[in-house]
Amino acid sequence: MSEKVLMKGNEALAEAAVIAGCRHYFAYPITPQNEIPAYMSRRMPEVGGTFLQAESELAAISMVLGAAAGGVRAMTSSSSPGISLKQEGISYIAGSELPCVLVNIMRGGPGLGAIAGAQGDYFQATRGGGNGDYRTIVLAPGSAQELADFTIEAFDLADEYRMPVMILADGYIGQMSEPVVLPKPSGKSFEKPWALTGAKGRKKNIICSMKLIPDTALEEHNLRLQEKYDLITEKVHRVDTYMTDDADWLVVAYGTSARIARKAVDRLRGEGIKAGLFRPLTLWPFPEKELFEVGSKVQKILTVEMSLGQMVEDVKLTMNGEVEVDFHGRAGGAVPALDDIIERINGYERENHTHVQAS
């Protein structure tokens, strides 16, 4: 099926999960991601899969853990406060080295916040919101099409590295309908000799996060996880750059913020101002190498977020003082205004001219 269809982001993601071979989906209702469970409740029976509306987020993520331990592709989705509840299970899944896909269609916080789209869960997603030393691969789609495409990749990454992979999108990306060409399955397959299929003709398999014996077992486990995370940091980083080759001013943004920033770059270019956009598609690992390469050639970086400053910390860590990093953010469901981004960069230009004249 390669025809363009108008699809809601959430539904494009759900269908892509089915295409990726996901047959076990567990979730609890929360806005703005309710289209995913609604879609799955129709679709899973059609493909012989399991849709189960759990009694809580805690239960839903534990069901994912159980299904993943059985060696199948499992997924859950939620939105910010629900993802907070899932942190328990995410930590266990990371510690147990099980693959699964988690979807966070972000809304405004803290607490119950409001249902409008936001990007306030960047820290929670990229730092690991649960207990212990672990990481989660985080993918940041910016359209309904990318929600679908990244879902296919998320399942492959999860199986390849045996870890949870999170798709992190603001509510607007999930709620918006756009033309989508549904992706094809990747065709990759993964052996799962560790799965719990019964101790027949082999020793028993045990999947657990607790490591007691010997005394050094847990540290060894942590070091092995770290080796895996190091490998991922080396191999898994995706970016999208726009007009960055000759840019003086670089905007760094993801999701809806990046869509607006891209329009701002177009407008600024139309006025002869050399702006460019750097859009990380993986938030963990953060694409440091790529950003430094582009960022060290510009005069100033502006990070734009639908939060009051989270990803900007990664941008600053990456640039390490090499280039000044400025920030513009909106919160609580507000979307950065095109004119505000343009005005900010116009300001840099004016400042620059003043400096040039003064020197």
Phi and psi dihedrals of 26, rounded to 5? -130, 135
Nearer to other proteins, 267 or 297 (CB): 267
Phi and psi dihedrals of 305, rounded to 5? -140, 160
For the bound state, the minimum distance from the C-beta of residue 102 to other proteins, rounded and expressed in Å, comes to 14
For the bound state, the minimum distance from the C-beta of residue 97 to other proteins, rounded and expressed in Å, comes to 12
For the bound state, the minimum distance from the C-beta of residue 195 to other proteins, rounded and expressed in Å, comes to 9
Separation in Å, CA 87 to CA 59, 61, 225: 12, 9, 18
d(CA 249, CA 42): 47
Residue 35 and residue 89 in contact, taking contact as beta carbons nearer than 8 Å: no
b/e sequence 268-295, b meaning 16+ C-beta within 10 Å: beeeebbbbbbbbbbbbbbbbebbeebb
Nearer to other proteins, 273 or 293 (CB): 273
Nearer to other proteins, 55 or 324 (CB): 55
The footprint of other proteins on this chain (CB under 8 A) covers a number of residues equal to 66
For the bound state, the minimum distance from the C-beta of residue 295 to other proteins, rounded and expressed in Å, comes to 22
Question: What residues between 29 and 68 interact with other proteins by CB under 8 A?
Answer: 32, 50, 52, 54-56, 58-60, 62-68
Among candidates 314, 334, 319, which has minimal Cα distance to 138? 314
Instruction: Lay out the site mask for other proteins across 82-121 (x = CB under 8 A, - = otherwise).
Output: ------xx--x---x----------xx-----xxxx----
Question: What residues between 10 and 29 interact with other proteins by CB under 8 A?
Answer: 24, 26
Among 237, 259, 274, 279, binds other proteins (CB under 8 A): 259
d(CA 198, CA 196): 6
β-pair type (24-27, 50-53): parallel
Nearer to other proteins, 128 or 285 (CB): 128
d(CA 133, CA 129): 10
Among 127, 179, 190, 317, binds other proteins (CB under 8 A): 179
Q: Which two tokens stand for residue 260?
A: 């607006």
Please identify, among the stretches 12-20, 227-235, 253-261, 315-323, the one whose residues bind other proteins according to the rule CB under 8 A: 253-261
Please identify, among the stretches 222-230, 261-269, 282-290, 342-350, the one whose residues bind other proteins according to the rule CB under 8 A: 261-269
Residue 256 and residue 250 in contact, taking contact as beta carbons nearer than 8 Å: no
Question: What residues between 273 and 332 interact with other proteins by CB under 8 A?
Answer: none
Nearer to other proteins, 215 or 356 (CB): 215
Question: What residues between 147 and 176 interact with other proteins by CB under 8 A?
Answer: 171-172, 175-176
d(CA 158, CA 160): 6
Among candidates 255, 341, 358, which has minimal Cα distance to 301? 341
Beta-carbon contacts of 306 under 8 Å, excluding residues fewer than 6 positions away, are: 117, 118, 119, 120, 170, 255, 256, 257, 329, 330, 331, 334, 335, 336
Among 38, 85, 243, 335, binds other proteins (CB under 8 A): 335
Task: Examine residue 75 and tell whether it contacts other proteins (CB under 8 A).
Answer: no
Among 112, 199, 217, 231, binds other proteins (CB under 8 A): 199
Among 46, 187, 193, 200, binds other proteins (CB under 8 A): 200
Separation in Å, CA 316 to CA 124, 160, 313: 18, 31, 5
d(CA 242, CA 205): 48
d(CA 37, CA 105): 13
Which residues bind to other proteins, rule: CB under 8 A?
A: 4, 6, 24, 26, 32, 50, 52, 54-56, 58-60, 62-72, 74, 88-89, 92, 96, 107-108, 114-117, 171-172, 175-179, 196-201, 204-210, 212, 256, 259-260, 262-263, 266, 333, 335, 337-338
